[in-house]
Structure 1
Amino acid sequence: MSMRVATFALSGSLMNHALTTQAKLAEKQTQEASGLVSSDYGGLGTDAGKLVDLEVSLSRAQAYADAATQATERVEVMYSATGSIIDALTDARTTLSSASVDTEDLVAVQETAASLLEEVVSLLNTQYEGRYLFAGTDTLEAPVDLSGYTAVDADTADTGYYAGDSTIISVKVDADRTVSYGVTADNEAFEKTIRVLSLIADSDSDTLTDDDLETLSNLLVEAQDEVIAVQSGLSLAAATLENAAAEQEDFVSIAETSIDDLRSADLAEVAVAVAQYETQLEASYAAVGKLSSVSLLDYL
């Protein structure tokens, strides 16, 4: 094959144009097949920075949402445990209200109180995901141990049974907000619960009077009211955490949509571009082919 000198430059230009068109066609065909603008950040141009920022923000928001959700689950377990403690105090009040200083009555009351005290201790030693929930930050050790504990009297508070710390757990739910949640087993409501049940279980029928029974009954009421207040606080904490998690999940949803918009190709637009580039490429190859077929002999 031969070519006139005058057509050589034109042929080269057409070939370069064809190769450029071919590259653009290949890019659009890749987008059409994958549904993505580009498989890497480099192909996104100025949108690459936006995408990176969105992905970082999404990852952070999801971490906040997960942390808030996990904290909510812990609070719900604690809420259930305090509910059971409230029920135990109700049972103790019912039993005590029907008792008198009669020895047989007191034996039944003592047995009931001892059983309920054991239940309360078990509830305050509740574990969830390997953590003792009522132990503050000392989550690896059971917070309540009565082996060396003896209630002194109805008026003397004593948290000697408690082995945890006094730190209330908190969780970061966004860049500027931390939510405290939970309660420790040395809380006044639980101390009073353990104290009154211990006093009833260990009461001396020989010296107990009707006034003593009334004092213990009143102490049960106080303990129950305070545990109910603790449970209400847990409910508020759970609601706060749920709202915080929902806010972060909403942001995650919006960020995911924005990321998808930046990464995803407009398939209708891509299909039109593919057809246009194919037409241009066919025309370029046809022109190159026609020029390539021209010979000097045709003009002699």
Structure 2
Amino acid sequence: MVMRVSTFNQTSSVLQMAMTTQAKLAQVQQQQASGLISTEYGDLGSDAGTVLDLSVSIARSDALISSAERIATRSEMSASILGQISDLLTNTRTLVNATSTDIDIASLQSNAQNNLEDLASLVNTQYEGRYLFAGSLTETSPVDLTAYAATSLTTVNTDYYQGDDYIQTARVGEERSIDYGITGNDDAIEQAMRALSYLANASPLETSELADVSELLISAQDAIIAAQSASGTATNRLETFIENETSFKTEAESLATDLTSVDVAVATVEATTYKTQLEASYSALNVMINLSLVDYLNL
């Protein structure tokens, strides 16, 4: 009877060891397959908190980078449109400077009307369903020429504008932001609209007024070029932020990988060791079970 109790205790102990070894083998095999220490934070020990913080930081960087990339594209597009407006004003100035007689006035006014409509179309540009020059009213076209006609070269007139004064802002951190773009009622665009509208609608348009028109066009173009430069600066700042944030994200991902990755070569050796131990345990169990059966039959 003593012999059977002793054998039972030994068998139970070896069986428990075999089950423990089998669990370790399963864990190592999973590590071999995934390349990770574990897919659960709780299994990472003292590194769990750090890995969790890194995961949050990486997700935050992803969101910031994605947003900054979209905004940088908008800012770049705004700068491109302002460049086209500058070209349009250059064209108009050329026409104005080439007009010296009343005979040329009708042609100049026709071209000015076309350029005014082109200007309105440029300011009404959309990107991803958003109007770029409407302030916060991104679903409203900023320019409507229906009831707009400038009757003075010196009086500010924004009757064409349907947006608001909000300047778009890109959040690039908890305490950092970058303003970008301009609104359709900005001085630069207003002067351009006023000059072209006056040229197109003045009745009669006198050749003596063309020098003042040219000066207003020059003022508008200078302001447009300054706005284009500001948009370019905003784009460059956004691209610098994207580059820096991407570098941070890469470093965070690398550190997270170091903390969560398993050495596959070491895991392979451990798996081999556990397999050997498991085979030995099963062999010992087999012997013990057979001995117990013989003892039982010999009673």
Q: Which residue of 1 aligns with 2:273?
A: 276
Q: Partner of 2:185 in structure 1?
A: 186
Cα displacement (A) at 1:265 = 2.1
Q: Match for residue 86 of structure 2?
A: 86
Out of 258, 261, 266, the position equivalent to 2:258 is: 261
Question: Whole-Å Cα distance in 2 between the matches of residues 297 and 94 of structure 1?
Answer: 115
Which residue type is aligned with residue 215 of structure 2?
N
* Aligned mates of 2:135, 2:156 — CA distance in 1: 20
Q: Does 1:95 align with 2:92?
A: no
1:114 is matched by which residue type in structure 2? Q
Mean alpha-carbon deviation: is it higher for 44-53 or for 61-70?
44-53
What is the aligned partner in structure 1 of residue 154 from structure 2? 155
**Alignment of 1:68 onto 2:73:** no
Q: Give CA deviations for 1:93-137 in whole Å, capped at 9, x if unaligned.
A: 11111111x222111111111111110011111111111110000
Displacement after TM superposition at 1:299 (Å): 10
Cα distance between partner residues in 1 of 2:29 and 2:207: 93
- Can you list the C-alpha shifts for 1:180-228, whole angstroms capped at 9, x where unaligned? 11100100011100111111112345x6143x21111111111111100
User: Cα RMSD (Å) of the superposition?
Assistant: 2.2
Q: Identity, % of aligned pairs?
A: 42
Unaligned 5+ segments in structure 1 are: none
For 1:106, the aligned partner's letter is: I
Query: In 2, Cα distance between the equivalents of 1:8 and 1:153?
Result: 109
Aligned length: 296
Report 1:84-233 matches (<5 A): 84-100=84-100, 102-205=101-204, 208-210=206-208, 212-233=209-230
**Following TM superposition, by how much is the alpha carbon of 1:297 offset from its aligned partner in structure 2, in angstroms?**
8.6
Deviation at 1:64, TM superposition (A): 0.7
Asked if the contact 1:134/1:143 (under 8 Å) is kept, the reply is yes
Instruction: State the alpha-carbon separation in 2 of the partners of residues 296 and 220 from structure 1.
Output: 112
User: Relative contact order, CA 8 A, sep 6+: which one is greater?
Assistant: 1
CA contact (8 A) 1:3 1:292 kept: no
How far apart are the structure 1 equivalents of 2:176 and 2:62? 15
Change (3 A) 1:297 1:126: closer
Larger mean Cα displacement after TM superposition, 138-147 or 277-286: 277-286
Give yes or no for contact 1:3–1:293 (8 Å, CA) kept in 2. Answer: no
Q: Using the TM superposition, give the Cα deviation of residue 298 of structure 1 relative to its aligned residue in structure 2, in angstroms.
A: 11
Matched-pair contact (CA < 8 Å) for 1:61–1:174: no
1:296, distance to aligned residue in structure 2 (A): 4.4
The aligned amino acid for 2:230 is G
Structure 1 runs of 4+ with >4 Å offset: 295-300
8 Å CA contact 1:51, 1:259 repeated in 2:
yes
Deviations, residues 65-96 of structure 1 (Å, cap 9, x unaligned): 11111111111211111111001001001111
Structure 2, unaligned stretches of length 5 or more? none
User: CA shift at 1:234, angstroms?
Assistant: 0.4
User: Given the two structures, how large is their TM-score scaled by the length of structure 1?
Assistant: 0.91
Q: Does the CA-based 8 Å contact 1:173-1:245 persist in structure 2?
A: no
TM-score, with normalisation over the residues of structure 2? Answer: 0.92
Query: Does the 8 Å contact 2:64/2:172 carry over to 1?
Result: yes
